[in-house]
Amino acid sequence: MWLLECSIHQVCLKAVEILEELAERFFAWIAFELVYNALISPLRSYPGPKLWAISNIPSSISILRGKSHLDMLKLHEKYGSVVRIGPDELSFNSAQAFQDIYGFRPGKPQLAKDFKLYGSKTNGIRDSIAGYLDNEAHTRQRRLLSHAFSDRCLREQEEVIVNFIDLLISRLRERTQIGPDNKAKEDIKSWFNFVTFDITGDLMFAETFDCLKDSRLHPWISLIFATLKGITFIAVLNHFTILRKLQEVCIPESVRKQMLKNFNLSAQKADRRLEKGTSRPDFMSAILKHGLSDEKERFIENQPHMRREEIHSNSVFITIAGSETSASLLSGCVYYLCMNPNAMAILTQEVRSAFSRDSDITSTKCSRLSYLNAVIEESLRLYPPLVTNLTRIIPDGGDTIDGNMIPGGVTVSTHHYASYHSSANFFVPEAFIPERWLGSDARFQDDKRDVVQPFSLGPRNCLGRNLAYIEIRMILSKLLFNFDLQICKESEDWIDQKVYTIWDKPALMIELHDRMA
């Protein structure tokens, strides 16, 4: 017994000795990292807050608080066009940086995406054109999908789009008819979600979500919003090597289940659409044109193709990108118009003078309305659906970004909100003034309008840009042609929102008056 007690005692002493040694090494490593990041790193000369420079913790806290867009704006206003926001990360806010990071690079490969933003396949989009793909895979998938978003295909689908927009107007008119004085108080943000998700569901899956019919979001769409918050959480975890390896443990079980359920529901919808073949001109027809690549369905040799799992991933991404982004922009646009009565009056007059009846409103005619286009651009500037940034990695050997030679392995990006609200880029940047886009007001001659890239640019720019403009122009035009709008008092501070990948939007309560009654 005495020998056993001695052995246990010795083992415990040895264990304590090992733990002490590990602790010493850990703290020594932490100390080295802090000293290196602050004093030795090749990024040491770039301006920025010291705590952000030595650790990813401050930026992660900013993201999790939902205030990263405001924090990034403050940092750029204080430190200038390039800011060190992490031990190995730089943020830019200039038009040239947008071109250098995301634009076409003749003779040089595209900057690679930062895998930390994607990290896991749980979110269901890593294999999509928005995910972590090499240039070959991205080009192959994009070539197939680009046909679906071409001007020709969108013209063929305009009748489908118009039918849903007309249903939106009809449903809103029903609401005014049951209210006093042909008025209704509605959360217009939700109605914009209803119509854009119904349009995307029809074009992607050949089946609507029935949001307009039921006057509520399909439960599956609520899962999508939960998934987006989960992606934000994953991106934060992936900044830390230890947490990245423990991702499955760190992500709450409820979040992982919601993300997986969202992906599976989208995959099921995609499979049902695939069974219908190419008889219907929509997004899926473009993919099916050259067949599938899996064990049962072969593709034409040397032709673009897409595997079934890639179709599943893209269906998740397109549903989100083709719906939520347009709905967000429309919400921001209506908010700023209501808060700026003069701009609302000018746009309303333009729309109602251009069309004598609702059926005259077409996408082609709407595209010619100069003030409407200016209102949309100003809304994209102040309330961009892509709020934050898309990170890229500098290759070995380094590269030049906006005149700065950046060493290899550094993460770089331009921050949309911080760039669009910068006093270095725009005169009175927080003011909603559509006239700055008309080129007729000398006050804005020095505005750096080419910094506004809400759809990104280059070979990975947003494929859905044309569809978004069609939806936004026509929905706004038909809404203002049929109704007078006034913001309700409880929504006057609506713009004060948090950001978790996308805007975390509260209800936008608007009083609608049916001018046709």
Quick: pLDDT tens for 161-177: 999 999 999 999 999 99
pLDDT, tens only, 206-215: 888 889 998 8
More confident call, 175 vs 119? 175
CA atoms within 13 A on the CB side of 113: 19
Question: Beta strands 411-414 and 392-393: pairing type?
Answer: antiparallel
pLDDT, tens only, 485-511: 999 999 999 999 999 888 999 999 999
Compute φ and ψ for 503, nearest 5 degrees.
Answer: -65, 135
Residues 6 or more apart whose CB falls under 8 angstroms from that of 202 comprise 160, 164, 208, 282
- Helix (H) or strand (E) segment spanning residue 234: helix 219-237
The arithmetic mean of pLDDT across residues 281-295, rounded, is 65
Q: Cα–Cα distance between 147 and 289 in angstroms, integer? A: 10
pLDDT, tens only, 123-139: 444 455 555 566 677 77
More confident call, 408 vs 265? 408
Report CA torsion sign: 249, 251, 255, 256: negative
Long-range CB contacts (within 8 A, 24+) of 214-223 = 215/171, 216/190, 217/190, 217/193, 220/262, 220/265, 220/266, 221/193, 221/197, 221/323, 223/258, 223/261, 223/262, 223/265
Q: What is the DSSP letter of 306?
A: B
DSSP states along 84-150: EEETTEEEE-SHHHHHHHHS--TTSPPPEE-GGGT--STTS-TTSTTSS--HHHHHHHHHHHHGGGS
The arithmetic mean of pLDDT across residues 112-126, rounded, is 61
Q: What's the token pair of residue 2?
A: 């005495």
Q: Categorize the per-residue pLDDT at 241 as very low, low, confident or very high, splitting at 50, 70 and 90.
A: low
More confident call, 272 vs 299? 272
pLDDT, tens only, 476-489: 999 999 999 999 99
Q: CA gyration radius for the chain?
A: 26
Count other C-beta atoms under 10 Å from residue 253's C-beta. 9
Q: Which of the given ranges, 36-50, 116-130, 232-246, 306-320, has the highest pLDDT on average?
A: 36-50
Report whether 497 contacts 506 (CB < 8 A): yes
Residues 6 or more apart whose CB falls under 8 angstroms from that of 498 comprise 65, 66, 67, 504
Enumerate the H helices of 251-340 as residue ranges: 253-274, 283-288, 308-321, 324-339
pLDDT, tens only, 295-329: 444 444 445 567 777 888 788 778 877 788 999 99
pTM of the predicted model, to two decimals?
0.88
- Helix (H) or strand (E) segment spanning residue 412: strand 411-414
CA atoms within 13 A on the CB side of 202: 18
